[in-house]
Amino acid sequence: MKIPASLALIITLLHASLLAASERPNIVVFLVDDLGFADCGFNGGTDIRTPQIDALAAAGTILGAHYVQPVCSPTRAALMTGRYAVRTGVYTIVRPGARWGLPLAERTLATALKDAGYETAITGKWHLGEFERTFLPTSRGFDHQYGHYFGALDYFTHIRDGKPDWYRNDQPLQEAGYTTELLANEAVRLIRSRSGQPPKPLFLYVPFNGVHAPLQVPEKYLTPYQHLKGNRRTYAGMLAAVDAAIGQIVSALRVAGQLDNTLIVFSADNGGPNPDTLTRNTPFRAGKGTLYEGGIRSAAFACWPGKIPAGRRTEEPVHIIDWFPTFVEVAGGAPNQPLPLDGRSLLPMLTAGKPTPHESLLLVQSPVRAAVRAGDWKLLRLTGTTTDDGAGDAGETTTAPARNAGQGKGKATNQAKAGNAENALQLYNLRQDPGETKNLAAEEPGKVAELQTLLDSWLKDAVPSGVPRE
């Protein structure tokens, strides 16, 4: 029987559409909570074994100057919007019961990729608002949600502040298990569930609560770390659990025949808290909650077989805001943004070795307390007070009992107020002084003036914090 020409055209177009979908990569984002810059092997770590993470890093390009926000909710907002905190008002941590979140006017990365034909899923910590249903992940572009809304929940009971914080598709869920393992299991289940279905690319966002406090881990992960003591040993076990979880997810992609067609991005959400005792941010100064490099330069890499060169490292400065336009570009989506993006696509840099798409980067902690990096130079303006110093997130304690002799209550001292007693203006040459040890502001007044003007241009239209006033 002869097929009518109109039907033949429809079949041809449908085939082309399915083929195009199958050629677009899956996108997987691993976000590790409170990870120190130098705790993984790929960034020089030696006392904690991260073979799965290191293998992925070796298969792609390590991003030696990948910037994030000083604390976690603002980093997640920047990733989800491609916009700086001065646009969204998310300068601080969204706490349980807070009557605010990522503004609803923001079109999220999940929505943009869903509009481009992707299946979208989050397995992990949301931390961008939950006081109304419109702020929940399934209302912000995710087809699937699994995990928790806040940080500092008990890893075994999933309780935060006396209340359960565990959900599937934004419905309360009672489930036993260690959260890091549960998140990996869910991601693997999603990957396997797609077997045999028509080709539709997947956006899988896995924001682990590991290695955030409270410091809790099953005993099996501690066995290799007899040489470490106290909280560092427990932290090592928690990172080993994250490493194993990432290995599981990557293995599921490989078994499904999808690994070669998957763009994987790995990052921390901020620098490590309590550096040099709990975490390692070497060679950088300070840690979580600060605008020093130890607080905002994250351990990061990207791999995409055949597209992003393997075994490479770049020190070109980039920001987590850049993944929004990068992912939309590889997805073949249209920007369709109601609000302008600050991020720039990293594809030319990642695939062809081009320079960073930025002349400068804004590094912001509040509408007045901020820094700017332009080339090798960085100016910090440490005026005013921080909207949030990270306490209650980095330093939160819980009533969770210790699960092994190596655990304390999970209190991790942050460095948010580091430098407050020093000069309000600090200038550093990061190429010569990555540890920010010598303030050159007095010696380089011309450079200070130049960067002050640039910083003023960034901050002149900064929106206030999204936190409602009392």
Among 40, 72, 148, 358, which one carries the catalytic annotation?
72
| Annotation says 127 is catalytic | yes
| Annotation says 303 is catalytic | no
Q: Is 2 exposed, middle or buried (0-12, 13-18, 19+ CB in 10 A)?
A: exposed
Q: How far is CA 6 from CA 3, 20, 106, in A?
A: 8, 21, 41
Q: How many residues are listed for the chain in this entry? A: 470
| Strand order through the sheet with 370-374 | 361-364, 370-374, 377-381, 425-429
Query: DSSP assignment of 190-252, as one string?
Result: HHHHTTTSPP--EEEEEE--TTSSS----GGGTGGGTTS-HHHHHHHHHHHHHHHHHHHHHHH
Give ∠ CA 44-49-51 in degrees, rounded to 5: 90
Helix, strand, coil % in the chain, rounded to nearest 5? 30, 15, 55
DSSP 177: S
Among 15, 40, 66, 127, which one carries the catalytic annotation?
127
For residue 374, give every residue at least 6 positions away whose Cβ sits within 8 Å of its Cβ, in sequence order, or none: 359, 360, 361, 451, 454
Tokens of 154: 């008990």
- Say if CB 173 and CB 156 are below 8 A apart: no
- Short-list 26, 39, 442, CA closest to 236: 39
For residue 7, give every residue at least 6 positions away whose Cβ sits within 8 Å of its Cβ, in sequence order, or none: none
Dihedral of the alpha carbons of 445, 451, 457, 458, in degrees to the nearest 10: -140
Instruction: Return the number of other C-beta atoms located less than 10 Å from residue 171's C-beta.
Output: 9
Helix (H) or strand (E) holding 449: helix 445-459
DSSP 29: E
- Supply the residues annotated as catalytic: 72, 127
